[in-house]
C-alpha cells in the first residue's frame, strides 16, 4: 500500500515504523504540558500499519496578544471640503458622530435608500438612549421635555414618507440626501461663525435639521410642536453637548 499522510486538525499524521518509542518518565513529572511530547503509535488493522500522532510545538500555536485599536473620526460628510483649510479648530463631537451613525442605522431599519433629515433626528434620540449612562444629550433632553420622543418621530416618519418595500435592502451606508447634507454643513458653518474653537455638538446638528424648512425632519419637528421660539431657546446651549443630571 502506498505511503499516505493524513491531517487531523492541527495534528500531523504520517506513517511511522512499527517500533514502540521510548518514553521518558521524567517528561511527565511536571503538571504542565511539555513543549515536545514523544510520538504515540496507533495500530490499525484496516491500514495494516501504524500511525504516529505527533503533538506540535504549542509555543508556536499560541496566539499572540493583539492590541485593540480604536479609531475616532472627527468629521462628517461635507459638500464644502475647502472650508476645512480655514484654520479653525472645529470638530464634530463624539456624540454628534455617534448620532450620525445611529441615523444611518435608522434609515436601514426603515429600509430607506437614503439618510434624510428625519433619520438624523431619530439618530439624535437613539444615541441618547444608548449613552444615557454617560449623561443625557442636551438636544435630546430638550426634545423629550417638549414631548418629542423617538417613537413619535418614527410614527410621524412612516406617516409622512410611508413604508418601504419589505424586499428592499438599504445600502450599508445610505447616502445623504441634499437637505441632510445641508443640515450638516449649516451646523459646521454656525460653529465657524461663532469664532470660537471647540466641538460641533448634537445641538448644532438638531438646529441644522430645523434650518431645512422643506425637509422631512423639519416637518416632523413642526408637527410635534417644535417651532422657531424653541429653536432660539435651544440655541443658548449650542456649545454644550450633554448633561450628567440624567433627567
Q: pLDDT category, 183, cuts 50, 70, 90?
A: very high
Q: What's the pTM value of the predicted model, to 2 decimals?
A: 0.65
pLDDT at 70: 32
Statement: residue 204 has pLDDT above 60: yes
**Is residue 9 classed exposed, middle or buried when 0-12, 13-18 and 19+ CB atoms within 10 A define those classes?**
exposed
Q: Which sequence spans correspond to the domains of the chain?
A: 91-243
Please name the CATH architecture into which domain 91-243 falls.
Orthogonal Bundle (1.10)
**Is residue 147 classed exposed, middle or buried when 0-12, 13-18 and 19+ CB atoms within 10 A define those classes?**
exposed
Q: What is the pLDDT of residues 58-108, one digit of tens each?
A: 454 444 444 333 333 456 767 666 655 555 557 899 999 999 999 999 999
How far, CA to CA in Å, does 57 sit from each of 14, 54, 212?
A: 17, 9, 65
Q: What is the pLDDT of residues 25-49, one digit of tens each?
A: 444 444 444 444 455 454 444 445 5
Amino acid at each position: 500500500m502506498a505511503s499516505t499522510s493524513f491531517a487531523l486538525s492541527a495534528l500531523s499524521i504520517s506513517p511511522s515504523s512499527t517500533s514502540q518509542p521510548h518514553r521518558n518518565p521524567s517528561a511527565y513529572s511536571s503538571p504542565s504540558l511539555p513543549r515536545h511530547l514523544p510520538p504515540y503509535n496507533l495500530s490499525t488493522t484496516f491500514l495494516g500499519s501504524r500511525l504516529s500522532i505527533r503533538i506540535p510545538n504549542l509555543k508556536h500555536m499560541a496566539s499572540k496578544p493583539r492590541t485593540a485599536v480604536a479609531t475616532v473620526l472627527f468629521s462628517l460628510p461635507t459638500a464644502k471640503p475647502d472650508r476645512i483649510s480655514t484654520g479653525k479648530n472645529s470638530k464634530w463631537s463624539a456624540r454628534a458622530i455617534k448620532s450620525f451613525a445611529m441615523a444611518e442605522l435608522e434609515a436601514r431599519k426603515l429600509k430607506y435608500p437614503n439618510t434624510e433629515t428625519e433619520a438624523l433626528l431619530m439618530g439624535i434620540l437613539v444615541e441618547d438612549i444608548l449613552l444615557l449612562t454617560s449623561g443625557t444629550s442636551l438636544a435630546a433632553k430638550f426634545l423629550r421635555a417638549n414631548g418629542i420622543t423617538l417613537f413619535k418621530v418614527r410614527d410621524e416618519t412612516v406617516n409622512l414618507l410611508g413604508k418601504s418595500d419589505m424586499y428592499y435592502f438599504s445600502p450599508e451606508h445610505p447616502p445623504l440626501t441634499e437637505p441632510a447634507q445641508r443640515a450638516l454643513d449649516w451646523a459646521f458653518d454656525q460653529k465657524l461663525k461663532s469664532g470660537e474653537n471647540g466641538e460641533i455638538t448634537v445641538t448644532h446638528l438638531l438646529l441644522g435639521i430645523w434650518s431645512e424648512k422643506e425637509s422631512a425632519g423639519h416637518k416632523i419637528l413642526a408637527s410635534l410642536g417644535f417651532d422657531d421660539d424653541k429653536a432660539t431657546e435651544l440655541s443658548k446651549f449650542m456649545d454644550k453637548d450633554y448633561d450628567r443630571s440624567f433627567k
